[in-house]
Structures are given as structure tokens and as C-alpha cells.
Structure 1
Amino acid sequence: MPTDPFVPDRAWGSGAPDAGVRQADVYTDRDRERWWSEAPKNPRRTAFERDRARVLHSSALRRLGAKTQVLGPSSDDFVRTRLTHSLEVAQVGRELGKVLGCDPDVVDTACLSHDLGHPPFGHNGERALHEVALGIGGFEGNAQTLRLLSRLEPKVFADDGTCVGLNLTRASLDAATKYPWQAGDGPRRADGTSTRKFGVYPDDEPVFAWLRQGAPERRKCLEAQVMDLADDISYSVHDVEDAIVGGRVDLERLRVTAEQERVVAQVRDWYDPAVDDDTLGAALDRLVSHPIWVSSYDGSRRDLARLKDLTSQLIGRFCAAAEDATRAAYGTGPLTRYEADLIVPDETLAEIFVLKGVAALYVMAPREHEPLYLAQRTILFDLVDALAESGARHLEEPFAADWREAGDDGARLRVVIDQVASLTDTSAQQWHARLCGMLSEVY
């Protein structure tokens, strides 16, 4: 068998901590503490295993099967949905976290949870809901995830009747928090402005303060960093795979210098990573010039296998680079929580970003001005208006109860946003047809 050109001499994962070090031993009772104290029902299962099971069996996770990743779930039978993307992120994150010494169930829980708060129609829907929610703190899928895990997804109730969501452990909830700050409080860019992303709404501050007790300000725990990288890796590799299969990427053109410059410009415009354009350009040229890169695609089983092999090699390449760099900095012992930061070499970051740029240039950016995108935003704008004007009458009962308990118009609007964000692409269209009349002809 020939040596795989993308795989290092050792197998990815061989730098795992000693087998005699149990991952559970490096987590404390404080890490396993829950927002609302519970007596474990099955002492044979760890607290972190129960966390993962709660997310896996949640209705919010099931709904991701009908929510857009990049292309809508009804566009064809091959493309990823938010659910399949989350499952892939969980596999990548679990393996990377395990070889570093993180509890794999904590990382798995974070990865399965990371997109739970995303609304219908992907990032297009997220931008629409942010616009209508500007007066109450905006909308952000990651902040919505924390709200869902700690408040909206029914599993555990406190003695006073308050729903505390899935009531995950501190370690798992912290690991699922990709942006541990409120809007406007994030890390500063070179121009002094805060990053647009945030992870908590003002009225969810109490549980956020609890889960962040003792954590360095704005610093993500290692498990969250692993989840974040697994998301980026899966997003970059699999979106390119979907784009190639869908015929949206001209593989030969990617070898042309002018086309590579377009990709780099797209990366800079959309993502503005902390690597320079020369590094990005070199990364793209390095990838498309490598023998493992697919130079053509005709839809045959052989080409599908070549494409799948490419995605596997890329995932292994990126994870091995992060593992090696992190181990070089922190040694071979188990790494968890705030004892280490995940280190990703600039060359690896650049390769991930240029793959994201390929998907952005050929798939996402051209769709920004399509009638379908406008129709999707209109659906969500109309739904928020209709539900806000009709009170609790058309809300599902859990949200209707929240509406009745809300103390002011801002709180009631947040309830409406919660309801709309919970819908799938399909149910949003159906609700719109029922409450707002006929859908746009693009459907």
C-alpha cells in the first residue's frame, strides 16, 4: 500500500495521554455540578454521559434535521443539514478532545449542542431575526443555544416551577459556550470594535455567571476550543464536498492564480482571519496542487470515493496539526478546561479558511441576492409581526405560557423570537402560509 501523502508518519491520536490516566479523574465535583441540584438516577453513568444523552434525545437536536446548513434540506438528498453537520462535528471533536485528555462526552455534548440555537434558513434566518430583535439585544444563534440548553428545552424543573432546560453540568455547558460574553463585550478588533458574535442575552446572565464561575474573562475552555475547531474543520471540508458534488465548483479553475486570488479576497471579506493574504494564497495553492486533491468530478462511484478520501485526509491533516502543536506546548498529560489552550498553526488555519472561502465564493455569496433568500427573510419578518400582534393565541403552549408571564413588550418580543427560532425551514413556511397568506412564488 502506498503511503498516504496527507497523513503524518504517526497515526493521528497516538499522542494520547497514558492509558492509566482516567479522564474523569481530572474533572472536579465543581465541573460536574448542575445549575439545579439533582440526585443521579443511575450511578453507573457519569454526569457527562447523562449530559450527552440529554442533548442527543432533545427535540431541539431532532429539529436540526430540517434546518439549513448551507443549502436547504430539500435542495437534494446529498447535502448536509444542521443535524448531519452537528453529528460530523461531534465525531471530529470527540476524537480530538479524547487524544488531548478531555472527557469525550463533554466535547461530544458541546459539539452536538453548538448549532441548537440556529433558526430556520441558516445564517440568512439568523440575520433576519437579529434585525427584528435589535431593540432587545439582538439575536445570535450561539446565545440562543445557551438559552435553549438552560431554559427552553424541557427536561428539569426547579422547585418553584421554573424550567432549567436540560440542566447540564457546568463543564458541559461551558464547553458549549463558543462566545463567552454578551453583545459588545467580546474581544476587540484592530479598529477598537467588538466582535459581532456573542454567547449570552442579558436576561440569561444568571446562568451564564454561574457556569463561568472561576473562568478567565472571555477565555473559552479547552473543550469549547476543540468544539470550535471541529466546527470549522467540518464546515470547511464538508461544504466544499457538497459544493463539488452539486457542480458549483470548477476544480480546474481553482488552480488558476486569478481564481485563487478571488478566493482569498472572499476569505478576507467574509472572515478576515488573523493570517495575511500571502499565507492564505499559499495555503490554497498548497492544497489544490497536492496529489490527493481531486482534479475532476463526474459523479461516478470512483470519483465519490476519491472525494470522500479527500475529506478524510483533510480532517486528519488539520486535527493532527492541532494535536501536535498543542502537545508541543503542553506536554503529554491530560489537558482539560483552563489548563491549556488549543494551538492551531497559522498554515493550518489558512488552509481551513481558504476552504471556507471556496464554499463562500461559489455557493453562499451568489445566493445572497437570489429571490429565495429575500423570500426567506420575508417569511421570518412576517411571522414575527403576526405572532407579536396576535398575543399568545398562535404560539405553541410552552411559548404561550412564557408570553403570559412576560413583564413587558421587550420580554414578549423575545418570546416570539424564541418561538420562530425553534421552527424548521418547513414549519416556518407552513406557519407563514397559515398566518400570513400565500407564500412567495419562489416556493
Structure 2
Amino acid sequence: MGNSRSQSGPRFCSQFLPEEQAEIDGLFDALSSEKQRPDTSPRSFSLKALKSHLGEALPPEMVTRLYDGMRSLDLPGKAKGPSESVSREQFTMFLSHLLKGSSEEKSLVIMKMISATEGPVKAREVQKFTEDLVGSVVHVLNYRQELRGWTQKRGPGPPPGVQVLAAQLFSEMELRGNEELPGPQQLDRDCDRAVIEDWVFRAPHVATFLSVVVHRGFLLPRLSLDLAPLVPERHVDQERVFESILDVPSVIYVNAHLPREQRHRWHLLFSSELHGHSFAQLCGRITHQGPCVLLLEDRDGHVFGGFASCSWEVKPQFQGDDRCFLFSTSPRMAVYTSTGYNDHYMYLNHGQQTIPNGLAQRNRSILAVDPEAQALLEIIGRPRHSQGLQDAPEDE
């Protein structure tokens, strides 16, 4: 059960500091003081009490997962298997493993949250857990009004970005054996404790999201959680309400790949919706402003862009370094880092008649090889000034 080194004698040893443990004990006392079923021990709490305490802070399915994870933890010297209610020791062990534990201890908790039965879980169960987890993070941040200037798009059902980010996280899992099985059948494969532990190590957002769910769901001020590296503050120099084409899951995903010093605050430099479709206006607003994120949406709803690691300059030379990367957030989330093939990271130029304008790479403009870049110019109604001025490819 978990990491044996976290146990001392017959009892579980909490990893919380004294002041943190006092807060955990106070939370348990509040939960166990809720009106219980007649057969519930006064030193424990029921699912009904947990739901009553959390209210609408978390989705019902996540509250049930938390409760099942708590009551399914086996305690030293106690009968194995899920208990009828959650004891103080189970509650402390669950939070200690989840918030302070190793990958091994976190994987134990995750397995219990996915299924109360012993043994491996199915890949499709992990997939559903991941969707519930990402959805719960967006839900609780919105409920606690901690989206830091970002707006959650309205609409029935979970935001599309929830499923896309969940799919990206789930793709980090290495399913072992039977690699020849077709895609749908892969979801029927077993995931044991070792697979989940490896997944937690490969996809650190899994543990981070679980911490957000617990911290912001239960409101634990003594157990500090800095949301700035997760969701950057959004600053717009406009009184007009402006909705970004990025939803909250997409912001979290892109922000996680930026250098740490750029993760705390995003400042809007240019938007075609606010500033028009002038390429000269774009150049004027983004140059000499430091590192920035370029974001585009095409007519098919595909959202993609790139990170510029240094200030843009209008000049006929390549700029930037290997910290630059390209990304997509819809219909799938992915990041494309430098291959090291050359140093052609950033290029910005316009108003020239004999030198390529816009975005380019050696020998061929990116417009010649990337239909999405061509679509961008068509969308904003700009002519391709560099067309006909590019060097012919070597094979021609």
C-alpha cells in the first residue's frame, strides 16, 4: 500500500507540516460533523457529507471519485477493501499521497479514484478519468473566479478544449504489449500500477491538476498553490470585452511550454478583431516587445501558432534561437520544437520589392509549403508581396 517508507509502525505517517496537518484535521472535523447516516461512525464521513461540503465547487463525478479514492485506501492493520465511510486516517493518507507523495504514492491514489476494485484498470477507464480531471480543473477555477482575466466560452457540455487536452495527456501513457491492436481495441488493454506510475512521471500535469482540484475545491490556504505558472494573468489594454480564441485548457497547455519567466502574465499586443487587418499595423505593434506568442485561427477552426523567443524586428534576416517552437491547440494539441537543422527560427519583413516579405525560410517561403500560412493571408485579405521573388527550389 503506497510507499512503505511513508509508514511508521502500525500507523500511517503524514507528510504534512504541523500547521498543515492542523488544517487537514480541521477540514476532517468539519466533514465528519455533517449530518450522517445512522450507521456511519462519528469519526468518519459519508459521500453525502462530502457533496454537501463541496457544494458546486467540483463536478459531481469528481466528488464521487475523490470519495471512492479515500475510502478505498487500505490502512495498516485494518481489513482490506473499500470502507463504508472515510476515516480520519484514510482522509489524511489520501491528501498526503496526492499533494506530497511520490509518483508511486500518487499512482496508488489515482488507481483508487479510477476503480475501487483491486488489480489493473482498463485504458478506457483512464481516458474517462483524464477527461473528468481536466474538466474539474476548468470548473473549479471558473467557480472560484480564478481564471485571471480569461473567459470560459459558454455552451452546452464540456468545452472542446477539455477533451483535446485530456486526449493529449492520455497520449503520454505508454500502453505495453499488443501494439498491433487497432486503435479502438487499445482502450481495452489493462493498465497496472507500473503503467500509471510511469504516466504520472511522464505527464506532470496529471499531478498538478489533482492538486488544483483538491486545493481549490476544499480551499486549503495553508497548503499554498501558485496558479500563476498554470494560468497566466491576461492583460488587455482595451475597455472593449475581447474573447480570445484560446479556451482555458489551451492556455494552460501553451503556457506550460513557455520559459518559466514568461508564464506569469500575457499582454495582448495585436488582434485583427481590435486593430484591423493591416500587416504594417501588426509589425508596428509587435516589434521590440520581447518574447511573444503568435496565434492564428483558419477558416476550418484550426488553431495554431508559435512562440518567438525574442523581440521581433522588421529586417531581411532570420532571428530567434532554439527556444522558439510551433504549436497547435485545435483539433489536437501538439508542440513542435527545433530540429537543429538550421538557425531559421523567426523572420519578419515587409514593404520590400526584391526581398521576401512576411514569414520565410531558406530557399522557399513558408507560404509555399504551408497551406495554413497561405490561408492566413487570404483570411486577412493581404496580397503575397513575395510571390514570384523567391528562389526556385533546387529540384526545379
TM-score, length-scaled by structure 2: 0.25
Higher helix share: 1
Greater Rg, structure 1 or structure 2?
2
> Which one has the bigger strand percentage?
2
Greater RCO, CA 8 A, separation 6+: 1
Normalising by the residue count of structure 1, what TM-score does the alignment of the two structures yield? Answer: 0.23
